[in-house]
Chains A and B, each alone.
Chain A
Amino acid sequence: MTDSGLLVANLSVAYAGSVTALRGVSLRVPRGSIVTVLGANGAGKTTLVRAVTGLLFVHDGKIREGTITFNGKPIHTASATAVVKHGICQVPEGRMLFPRLTAEENLLCGAATRRRSPEIDLDLERVYQLFPVLGERRRQPAGLLSGGEQQMLAVGRALMARPRLLICDELSLGLAPMVVAELFRLLRQLNETEEMSILVIEQNARVALENSHYGYVLETGQMVVEGDSGTLRADPHVQELYLGGAGEAKAAYQALVRQYRNAIA
């Protein structure tokens, strides 16, 4: 069980004590894999991420039921800081950089959980190799970088914590397709060369399924479909609803959903 990766079991989350955002969600991110969670607005993707990274308190959310474990250790009661120390780091939705700190200071903030050591300098160097443009702009306030550069910086900042699991929430938000493709190429490279597990939360289903091993579809707080990314991509119903494919009946998709629900019930 020591490197079983992230395991979310039967998770239910409610906001303000009454509004249910997630109902019995289960998910697995095995070590060394890229897993994606797809879903429309309001499906509960961000709630799922916040439950994992200990940020539910920000909007008065609470875990009602279920457990989250990472490599066998329960983390659903841990604080956000403790979760980072467990080796899970998040590229938050909307980037959440420190706009008046320089790019380099932002990166150094990412290493906040680590003791000061020459390794941090090496990691800084590594991020600059992954994203050369950040090296050029390292003395500039993060708020002055372009959207793509800011997203690179957010990824770089997360990498500075040396995570074993990287969670990317809406990585593609507001970025040009070329930048998105480049970021995902990098995620795959990190996954292949360093065996980093990656959980990708996306609305951009096409890119997410092309760059992951396994996928889940979240709908109004419940998992409705899961499967290998290749299978999901080829699935006409997923195509219809999430990939913008044409011509397939919605009823068929709903049948698929029913079938899945029966299977997990």
Chain B
Amino acid sequence: MRSRLVTDYRQDLAIFKTRPQKVIVAVVAGLAVAFPFVFSSDFTPPLGFPWRAWLTAANLALIASIGAAAFNLLLGYTHQVSVAHAAFLMLGTMTAGYLGSIHHVSFWVILPISLLVGAVVGALVGLPALRFRGLYLLVATFGVHFFFLQVYKTFQTSFFGFNAIRFPAPEVPVWLAQLGVFTPDAEGRVLIQGDFRWYWVLLPIAVLSIAYMSNVIRLREGRAFRAIAQHDVSASLTGIDVTATKLRAFAISSAFVTMSGVLGSYYLRARGEDSFPFEVVLFYAIMVIVGGFSSTQGAVLGALFFYFFPTFFDWFRSRAPVVRDIKFLQAYANEINLAGFGILIIIVLVFRPGGLVGVWRSLKGYWGRWPFST
């Protein structure tokens, strides 16, 4: 890695500082745009390799990446151990169900409302954090999860009966629909249906949300989060209002988790009470830890990994030559899939404790110092 010298403040403050960084951003953006075109084509790879399934996985990963980045903001940067993640997904689903399915409010109006609702409820749930730390806070938020589960059951049975809450397909806003690139259906509406259209809805929302969160983390507010995580007494000595800052961290994180709950509800079309098991928070913990703790890029990489790897592994188990002939693997398909995932996570954590981001950084270091690297 060559040392980087700057000659003015603008260079020093730039977000993308070096040419390779700019190139990488451009390449990632290019890939993100090309991705849905490639994976919605009718191409059929040999050996039954999945093709369109990648687009579904990408959509789920986009939704999860918002939740993972929000989870990371709270756990990775502020070190507040909250396990009420699924509670806020439920809150998002309830907000969407009440406003969207019952009162027919537009999907585009529900999104900002869910951010607000999530922020307010998040600040309330954050109140125990002012008293508790670490494991004690975990137990307090554990209670929050089950409280919300009860609320959700009552909500669902009183408004929707015992079946799942169903969500209508959102419509493309009128001004966009009139651009002429979409073909309206028989009733003249343009519905967001299918993985290809959803991808274009989810990608900008995810990019904006994550850009917002990484800006929060990078600037004054995020410095306060990290200061509290590292030394809360010292943070109060420098004049950081620890109480207000913790609550803000909860509010911001919960707002985005709630919004990702809305997105997930509309994308999956139906949500029941069994859609929100307590394990959900573990899935997000896996994304954050495998991706790279305390790194927003890591949260995104972790979310991609979480949905891409099982897609790949399922194919590998059922279709790859030799492996597909092992009867044992096929007889216990689901268990093997889970075990494979678990083993891979252990491998990543043992050899690269920094997660996927750590892998990326060490590669960068290796090539940057070549031929002197070891």
Residues of A within 8 A of B (CB): 53-55, 58, 79-81, 84-85, 89-90, 92, 96-101, 105, 108-110, 112-113, 116, 157-158, 160-161
Contacts and interface: CB of A to CB of B under 8 A. Distances in A.
B2 interface: no
A92 B235 CA distance: 11
Given A81-B242, A108-B220, A116-B220, A98 B237 contact: no
Contacts of B236: 54-55, 79-81
Contacts, number: 74
Given A100-B230, A113-B239, 12 more contacts: A54-B236, A84-B237, A96-B233, A97-B231, A97-B234, A98-B235, A99-B230, A101-B223, A109-B238, A110-B238, A112-B220, A112-B235
Given A109-B224, A109-B235, A101 B240 contact: no
Contacts of B223: 101, 105, 108-109, 112
A90 B235 CA distance: 11
18 contacts: A80-B237, A80-B239, A81-B240, A81-B241, A81-B242, A84-B237, A96-B234, A97-B231, A98-B231, A98-B235, A100-B226, A101-B223, A105-B223, A108-B220, A108-B223, A112-B238, A116-B220, A160-B238
A81 B227 CA distance: 14
Nearest to A81: B241
A81 B239 CA distance: 4
A75 to B, nearest CB: 14
Contacts of B237: 53, 55, 80, 84, 89-90, 92, 96
Interface of B: 220, 223-224, 226-227, 230-231, 233-242
Contact of B234 (A98, A100, A116): A98
Given A85-B239, A109-B240, A58 B233 contact: yes
Contacts of B227: 98, 101, 109, 112
A80 to B, nearest CB: 4
B238 A157 contact: yes
B153 to A, nearest CB: 41
Contacts of A100: 226, 230
